[in-house]
Every structure is written in structure tokens, then in C-alpha cells.
């Protein structure tokens, strides 16, 4: 069984792998998934600025979501962050799923962001 330190190192390696892909100069679409909410933001690592952000806590989404921790809510967050990123002039991003597996809510957010106009 892996110790906590080794598990933490493997998780950090998965998270930092995306930094290598940033060589193309594209901003990254970073996803954070908690037990209750979903958060997404488009970050320009070169300047250290957040270009667009959305979450299930946004006033735009709060009224029309049944729950905040399901795939439908994640899809709405993906659509909203794609719309805001497009408005900010971003078309291509690198998807940063962090330590999360690409399924469920993370996949729903990514698919909705693609439908919203982002390419990755």
C-alpha cells in the first residue's frame, strides 16, 4: 500500500503534467470539484490573470439549477465559462482537470465547454 507521501507525489505529478502542455501559450481551463459545487476558470499563466470564471454559486445559475453537485449543474457551468471566455477573446484552451478523473461531472463540464465554443 502506498504511503500518504507517495500518493501526494503522484497526485502532484498528475496536476503539474498540464504545465508542460502550456508550452503552446494557450490559457488553461482549470476545474475544481467539491462535494457541493463546481468551479471553472480560464487562467492565463503567463500574466497570472483569470480571464473568465464560473461556478454553481453564480447568480446567473443559482435560480435555474435543481442541485449544485450533479452533471447537469456541471454542464451549465461549462456553458457559462465558455461564453465568458469567448467574450474575453479566448477560443483555445488547455483543459486542466487537476487530480480528478475525466468522467462524471468533470466530463460533463468539458463537453459543455466544447459545445459552448472552446476548443481543447
93 or 63, which is more confident: 93
Task: Write down the architecture of domain 4-115 according to CATH.
Answer: 2-Layer Sandwich (3.30)
> Which residue, chain included where needed, has cell 451549465?
76
Tell me if residue 1 falls in helix, strand or coil: coil
Q: Identify the pLDDT of residue 63.
A: 84
- What local confidence, expressed as pLDDT, does residue 6 receive? 87
Structure confidence by residue, pLDDT tens digits, 10-49:
878 777 776 666 656 889 899 999 999 999 999 998 888 9
Does pLDDT of 101 surpass 60?
A: yes
DSSP 82-99: HHHHHHTT--B-EEE-TT
Q: What is the pTM (predicted TM-score) of this model?
A: 0.85
For cell 459552448, name the residue.
Answer: 116
Q: What is the pLDDT of residue 22?
A: 61
Amino acid at each position: 500500500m502506498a504511503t500518504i507521501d507517495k500518493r501526494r507525489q503522484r497526485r502532484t505529478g498528475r496536476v503539474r503534467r498540464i504545465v508542460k502542455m502550456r508550452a503552446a501559450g494557450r490559457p488553461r481551463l482549470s476545474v475544481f470539484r467539491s462535494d457541493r459545487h463546481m468551479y471553472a476558470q480560464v487562467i492565463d499563466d503567463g500574466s497570472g490573470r483569470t480571464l473568465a470564471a464560473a461556478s454553481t454559486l453564480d447568480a446567473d445559475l443559482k435560480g435555474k439549477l435543481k442541485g449544485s453537485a450533479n452533471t447537469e449543474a456541471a454542464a451549465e457551468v461549462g456553458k457559462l465559462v465558455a461564453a465568458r471566455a469567448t467574450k474575453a477573446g479566448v477560443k483555445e484552451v488547455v483543459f486542466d482537470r487537476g487530480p480528478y478523473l475525466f468522467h462524471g461531472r468533470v466530463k460533463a463540464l468539458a463537453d459543455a465547454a466544447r459545445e459552448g465554443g472552446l476548443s481543447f
